Chains A and B, each alone.
Chain A
Amino acid sequence: MMTREKILKDLQEKFKSDIIDVFDKSPKRVYIGIRPESLRKVAEYVVGILNARFNIATGLDARRHIEILYHFTLEDINLLVSFRVKLDRTSPKADSLTDILEGANWIEREIHEMLGVDFRGHPDLRKLLLSDDWPEGVCPLKADYKEWDKKAIRDRGI
């Protein structure tokens, strides 16, 4: 069984041109920044060769760009690796991982409706959580989201 150091060293050597930075925070947490184009390559390696489990993807609006963090768990060595992908804020696009991992289907739909990220190659990019009467293009998790509903009541009336 491979040790933590060997796995991280192999990862950095194999994807030398794709990795931007590595933040080794603690024995159980590592954050690796990668280029958006290399996302599928890295995901295939991590899931296929390292047998990692896909936990979830977190999308966040970092004012100047939009970030997506893909969290993978390597249970045998108790390590959680998060791959950070930075996307352009005006028109964020990323590759879909649904054909490698069926578990990525729903979270990509959620990030699409919450942050407006377009996932190329996703089989069915429709709304997941927001209601049918929610206007198109309004993304609640973006930093510049404003209340659009004129009929909303936000005080208790006391």
Chain B
Amino acid sequence: MKRDKKPARRTIVPIGPYHPLLEEPEFFTLTVEGERVVDIDVRIGYNHRGIEKLSERKTFDQSTFVIERICGICSTSHPFAYTRSVEDVIPVEVPERAKYIRTIIAEGERIHSHLLWAGLAGHFLGYNTVYMWVWKMREEILDVMEILSGNRNNYAMFKPGGVRRDIKPGDIPPVIKKLDTLTPTLEMLNKAIRDDPVLHARTKGIGILTKADAINYCALGPTSRASGVARDVRKDSPYGVYDRIGWNMITAKNGDVFDKIVVRILEVLESIKIMKTCLLTLPKGEIDLNLKSIPPGEGIGHVEAPRGETFHYVKSDGTNRPVRHKVRAPTFMNLPTFKATVVGETISDATIILAAIDPCYCCTERMAVKDRRGRTLYKGEDLVRLSQKKTETLRKGMK
């Protein structure tokens, strides 16, 4: 262990991953002073599978299957952005029915992703009943996706030029019925969140991301909309059928954890409305353009994933494989904002502040807290327990 005493007030301790006190190479390392976090360090690369290089070996059509598996939770937004970037090389627009089907699948994914997040946030805050209950609600939306596409997750519905499979008219009434069962329970959850004083005390004013920081870090999605930045790809650069259906963009003012929770819950309610409207007004027609070849050129596609804007860039040289495929997930821009939001907060709030950015969930289990001399104080599961204990203490204090 090295100790570097700099002439300034602070002692910075560089900690390597093979230190004898450490059990495993850490993902997030928080340096603390007493109870306050003063600095963080992030180590990523655990999930790096070299998909950009793999895309160069596969044809444009085969790539969609690999690209779905970039992230399992937002597994539709990546092929959506990719197919739009391939269509942008020509450029060409897909048939109407294909646009409606794409919108339906994309909104279904948004609902399941936000509900997943709500359950995890409930777990970190100590509301384990909410965790189980919301995930049970999520099973309904997974059933809907299974009726529409045949699978609970990786739907494999997108291809350059349209969609692979059609929605049968007989499938629509049971889907609408299931969506209708979700709405009252979500309204109840929304009301419960707004009325719970413990939740207010626990999350208001915590982990604030100011509007200026959100713009400087180029934050995206609900993370930036909660700070007042009114940007959504579905409004600014509409794709699918978002410019034809009436829907509201949800924003909030303060940028704290409470606002991020509220923005996501309200977005789920909007998504249910969009999905129902699309299902009921689905036009007849072709679902696929049957693209035969992609001319040389460059194309860019961006869509609004549950976490923010997903951006894909494709360069083609006229053969049936891309020369270069660039993937940018929204978490890539949102994760550095963790530094701006957690410095100055206490360690019992660290897990919920990280969860509020909504990274891939396994990121939050790899957090560790060290003091100035580099001794590990808390591991990932301890931090979750600290967070749950703080909620308990607040609740007892309010009785």
Whether A102 contacts B216 in the complex (CB less than 8 A), given A69-B313, A75-B231, A80-B300, comes out as yes
Query: What interface size band does chain A fall in?
Result: 20 to 34
Partner-binding segment picked from B48-56, B201-209, B277-285, B346-354: B48-56
Whether A140 contacts B53 in the complex (CB less than 8 A), given A75-B231, A127-B45, comes out as yes
Closest A residue, CB atoms, query B236 = A75
Residues of chain B with a CB closer than 8 A to A107's CB = 332
Closest B residue, CB atoms, query A80 = B300
Query: What interface size band does chain B fall in?
Result: 20 to 34
A74: min CB distance to chain B, Å: 9
A147: min CB distance to chain B, Å: 11
Question: B residues engaging A (CB < 8 A)?
Answer: 17, 25, 44-45, 48, 50, 52-53, 88, 91, 215-218, 231, 236-237, 297-298, 300, 302, 309, 311, 313, 315, 323-324, 326, 328, 332-333, 335-336
Residues of chain B with a CB closer than 8 A to A50's CB = none
A38 part of interface (Cβ distance < 8 Å): no
In the complex the two chains form, is B237's CB within 8 Å of A78's CB?
A: yes
A91 part of interface (Cβ distance < 8 Å): no
* A56 to B331 Cα, complex, angstroms: 12
Secondary structure type dominating chain B contacts: mixed
How does the 8 Å CB contact mask read for A90-109 relative to B, with 1 for contact and 0 for none? 00000000000111011100
Contact of A106 among B231, B324, B326, B332 (CB under 8 A): B332
Closest A residue, CB atoms, query B229 = A53
Q: Which residues in chain A, 26-45, are within 8 Å of chain B measured between CB atoms? A: 26, 28-29, 31
In the complex the two chains form, is A105's CB within 8 Å of B53's CB?
A: no
B236: min CB distance to chain A, Å: 4
Partner-binding segment picked from A12-20, A129-137, A148-156: A129-137
How does the 8 Å CB contact mask read for A41-66 relative to B, with 1 for contact and 0 for none? 00000000000011110101000000
A128 part of interface (Cβ distance < 8 Å): yes
Residues of chain A with a CB closer than 8 A to B88's CB = 26, 29
In the complex the two chains form, is B237's CB within 8 Å of A129's CB?
A: no
* A103 to B330 Cα, complex, angstroms: 12
A71 part of interface (Cβ distance < 8 Å): yes
In the complex the two chains form, is A56's CB within 8 Å of B44's CB?
A: no
A22 part of interface (Cβ distance < 8 Å): no
In the complex the two chains form, is A105's CB within 8 Å of B336's CB?
A: yes
In the complex the two chains form, is A75's CB within 8 Å of B237's CB?
A: yes
Whether A55 contacts B45 in the complex (CB less than 8 A), given A75-B236, A102-B336, comes out as no
A141 part of interface (Cβ distance < 8 Å): yes
Residues of chain B with a CB closer than 8 A to A31's CB = 298
Q: Which residues in chain A, 114-150, are within 8 Å of chain B measured between CB atoms? A: 127-132, 140-141, 145
A-B complex: 4 closest residue pairs judged by Cβ atoms: A103-B218, A58-B326, A56-B328, A75-B236
16 CB-based A-B contacts, threshold 8 Å: A25-B91, A55-B328, A58-B313, A60-B315, A60-B323, A60-B324, A71-B313, A73-B237, A75-B237, A78-B237, A80-B302, A82-B298, A103-B333, A107-B332, A132-B17, A145-B53
* A141 to B56 Cα, complex, angstroms: 10
In the complex the two chains form, is A28's CB within 8 Å of B237's CB?
A: yes
A110: min CB distance to chain B, Å: 9
* A28 to B53 Cα, complex, angstroms: 28
In the complex the two chains form, is A103's CB within 8 Å of B91's CB?
A: no
A111: min CB distance to chain B, Å: 10
In the complex the two chains form, is A140's CB within 8 Å of B50's CB?
A: yes
